[in-house]
Amino acid sequence: MSVLNILKYPDPFLKKPAEAVPEKEDVSDLIKDMFETMYNARGIGLAAPQVGVGKRVIVLDVSPVDETSKSLALINPEIVSREGREESEEGCLSVPELNVKITRASKVTVSGYTPEWEVIQVAAEGILAIALQHEIDHLDGVLIVDYLSRLKREFYRKKIKKMYAQRM
């Protein structure tokens, strides 16, 4: 297992929609590395595009927030139903130093495959529902900055450029 590099906004790769993983393709090493990377960064979710892999793979572990939850890896996840509305503040490992209030479905059902290529359906609410929607957004090339107004997005973009310039 190894810790992968997490791409940061405004890396253009983050805006590219991910490709479906061909059935039965072995992505177990990618999934292990993604979990390792997510835990190392103290995140609760990670999508393959965030580590420079254009495949529809996500990993989640919301147990730091919801102790009843366990870790989850999904291949080719799709939201098949949404219910209710809920606003919450979200951060992102690829979008440093930004929290955005986002309104999402309060309950979702997501269908996809386990790492062993078994069909799985996950009915989720609370933090797990939010995390699933957030990570699936990544697979579609959508970031939390896309939920900001144009003015706020431009302000954040300038702040990030300045921050990166200071590190050089």
- As annotated, the active-site residues are 135
Give the separation between CA 36 and CA 3, rounded to whole angstroms: 6
Candidates 37, 120, 137, 39; CA nearest to 75 is 120
Candidates 32, 41, 85, 62; CA nearest to 135 is 62
Neighbours of 30 (CB within 10 A): 21
Tell me the three state secondary structure of residue 61: coil
135, 47 contact by CB (below 8 A): yes
Neighbours of 31 (CB within 10 A): 19
137, 14 contact by CB (below 8 A): no
